[in-house]
Structure 1
Amino acid sequence: MTVKSKGITRELAGARRLERQFLADPAPAATPVADVVAAMRGAHAQVMGAAELSVGIRATGVTRADVRAALWEERSLIKTYGPRGTVHLLDSRELRLWSAALTAVRTGADPFPPGVRLTGEQTGQVLAAIGEALTGVCLTVDELGEAIVARTGPWAGERVMPAFQELWPRWRTVLHLAGQSGAACFGPNRGRRTTYTRPPLCTPLPQEEALRLLVRRHLHAYGPATPRHFAKWLAASPAWAIELFATLAAGGEIEEVVFEGTRAWVAAGDTEFPQGPVRGVRLLPYFDAYGIAAQPRELLFPGRARERALARGQAGNYPLLLIDGVVAGVWHQRRRGRRLTVTVEPLGPLTARRERELAEQAERVAAALEAGAGAELVIGEVTAGAHA
């Protein structure tokens, strides 16, 4: 149904987003894991278990073992620094797009004071050193630091970057840029220690083409959206995003629609929406792409959900209970041997049908996490805090 002339409601936008995220119906069996991650526009992987669950709940029969196999054996996924400079799983086939687009994003002011940050010349030296040091090998952060200092100078290793109640070496202020540019990515853990390596060499797309594709694919997954929504997803300058959208609109790449009474954009020609909202219950883990990227946030987190499911307005800190496409509670999981206890705190009463659906969703979570004895559902207060 084309709804451009009538305006797009929250329910219809949410339904289309859920369908395109494989949250209305999971991807069919045998769908490549990388296709699911591409549809999400990357799976946030700061907490790897959460990324595995984000993918697992979207695909029939997929477990965390399948996600790990795609990452470390098939190499169809890559773990690196993606949108917002945060750790993501990305479709390896899109590395040419991501590395070109992310390095073209204009961000705000440097978050580090002058005594900590690197100059433009020093940043170039560090990024080149990272790429050289990681070619063909996997290094721990300490080993990588030694290799960088050997190639650049002692200034790169000065411990001036505040992090986790200690000081990290100066070069780590730009580690995320190395990931975004394709000079570095994560390698398999060495015991409990993180390693880094260099992804397969590829020629980045021209930046103009990459930005055009990034906007269109973001709007396909999360549109209608405004430039400010897009900027928030990338942690980019709103002024830069406004300018980018204006250029793409002038070139016929995106088109304006009315979304809940305000101006927003979709990819040109992409004005088909479902006939009605998606009904039912869904459980989303920490940092799930849908909860972070779907905007405006007040429509996804209505009423009490804003206070209970956000942390100072920030999404991703709590696992989310969705009912009919909007946040209606939080939940928490605890593993006990082969059984998973799923505690759900709804923000309103549940019908018997909703409770049955919730039990089914808990079993899906248990299956994705390979809890062989299934799930025990508890409906009650979630006492765990953010990031617990």
Structure 2
Amino acid sequence: MSALQRAQVLAYRFAVHGLAAPESDASTTLATGLQDYPPGRTALLALRLRTGSTDGSPTVLVHSVRAAMHLHDAAELPRLIAALRVDDAGAIPQQSMGPFGGELEASGVSFGAALDEVADAMRSAMGDLAFPTKGELSGAVSPKIDRRLAPWCEGCGADHVQDQLFRLATLQAGLVVDVDNHSPSQFRYRATEFEPADPTASRAELVDNFLTTFGPARPADLASWLGRTPSAAKHWWELVAENLQPVEIDGKEHWARADTLETVESAPAPTGVRLLPPYDPITELADRKLLVPDPAQRRKVWQAAANPGVVLVDGDIAGVWRQKRTRDRLTLRVEAFGKMSARQRRAAQSDADVIADQAGADNADLTFD
């Protein structure tokens, strides 16, 4: 069994995530998706920080992995629809959906049937609604489906499609998200046409993509990324298991794609300073303890809500940053985990300027705590 060091894994991720140069190829990260949260705020920025531009091959923003919004290569949409379909509520962790899935199936409605009914109603509603908001689409769909699929919501004061079911159904309906550039965080749905893909082959391809982007992993890492229970993720893992090779990282067994292992072992040591947005693939496809060994620092990177951006120094997370807009000026406040040299601070300005420009600001100021 090959033995890998943490530094080798971080070097591989830095390279494969397209962070080694300002005009890199983002196809690997687009294959697993760039999370967009809040809508319109993070995915295009993460793409631009890798490629130098948001132009390129067509992309789509959809509720994909964990039913969260992700930016993907548009050509991958049929395979995402096929791979991420959920037929059994037991495949989704309860913390993601609460008791709804179990209660639904106990009432005699399978989750797959519920998903189909809501997706069909969405496609039908899109014939009358041009580019509906989430509220408009939910308002059109909820009265037309089995009432068990649209329980009373105390927070909204209305009966509507359960939220997780709604988001999963948008993907099955082939709906993509268009963000309103003039009103950040506001979005509407748009219908697309797609050819059905094979679910088993699509899932195997998605696991392969995950292992390429993540590097050596364990089934639990796949479960966390997919938003599936460990037992459900194990079925996905088995689709590619014969092509994996065991490796040891800091004394723990992981598995790597056999065809990428040499690349992991020989990845060049990362250099330079990079500023990455909140929910960047570097932090979202991650063994958090491996990526940030210090528990106190880890709590600063991954928070209950509103994660900060992160600072990479030579491939290691060396701090976090948050932004504040004042008219045409964007201030990025960096909290470094250790001392950053004057040279490293100056090197961060390049990404800060990109972040400001993407936000529509004329200038970027960097401050360091």
Q: Normalising TM by the smaller chain, what interval?
A: 0.7 to 0.9
Name 1:13's counterpart in structure 2.
Answer: 9
Name 1:196's counterpart in structure 2.
Answer: 189
Within a 5 Å distance, the mapping from 1:123-138 to structure 2 comes to: 123-135=115-127, 137-138=130-131
Within a 5 Å distance, the mapping from 1:198-213 to structure 2 comes to: 198-199=191-192, 201-213=193-205
Name 2:244's counterpart in structure 1.
Answer: 254
Within a 5 Å distance, the mapping from 1:1-388 to structure 2 comes to: 6-28=2-24, 35=27, 38=30, 41-47=32-38, 48-60=40-52, 62=53, 66=54, 76-104=58-86, 106-109=91-94, 110-113=97-100, 119-120=109-110, 121-135=113-127, 137-149=130-142, 151-152=144-145, 160-162=152-154, 165-167=155-157, 169-173=159-163, 174-187=165-178, 189=180, 194-199=187-192, 201-249=193-241, 252-271=242-261, 272-273=263-264, 274-295=266-287, 297-303=288-294, 304-311=296-303, 317-372=307-362, 374-380=363-369
Q: Taking every aligned residue pair, what percent have the same amino acid on both sides?
A: 25
Distance in 2 between the 1:351 and 1:225 partners? 33
C-alpha distance after superposition, 1:22-48 (max 9, x if no partner): 1122335xx6x7x37525x21111312
C-alpha spacing 1:26/1:182, structure 2 compared with 1 (3 Å): farther
Distance in 2 between the 1:239 and 1:263 partners? 19
Distance in 2 between the 1:262 and 1:36 partners? 26
Letter in 1 for 2:346: R
Of stretches 87-96 and 167-176 in structure 1, the one that deviates more from structure 2 is 167-176
Letter in 2 for 1:178: A
RMSD: 2.9
Letter in 1 for 2:6: R
Shift of 1:286: 1.3
Name 1:385's counterpart in structure 2.
Answer: none
Shift of 1:227: 0.6
Shift of 1:7: 1.4
C-alpha distance after superposition, 1:338-379 (max 9, x if no partner): 32211111011112221222233322323443433x321111
Of stretches 319-328 and 117-126 in structure 1, the one that deviates more from structure 2 is 117-126
Shift of 1:117: 5.0
Distance in 1 between the 2:83 and 2:357 partners? 36
Shift of 1:220: 0.7
Distance in 2 between the 1:12 and 1:89 partners? 28
Shift of 1:104: 5.0
C-alpha spacing 1:166/1:54, structure 2 compared with 1 (3 Å): same
What is the aligned length?
351
Q: Which runs of 5+ in 2 are unaligned?
A: none
Whether the 8 Å CA contact 2:122–2:170 is kept in 1: the answer is no
Name 1:384's counterpart in structure 2.
Answer: none
> Is the partner of 2:319 in helix, strand or coil?
strand
Distance in 1 between the 2:62 and 2:239 partners? 29
Q: Which runs of 5+ in 1 are unaligned?
A: 381-388
- The normalised TM-score by structure 2 is 0.84
Distance in 1 between the 2:182 and 2:299 partners? 39
Shift of 1:180: 3.0
Shift of 1:321: 1.5
Shift of 1:115: 10
C-alpha distance after superposition, 1:255-313 (max 9, x if no partner): 32222222212223211223542122221111112111122x1121222312322226x
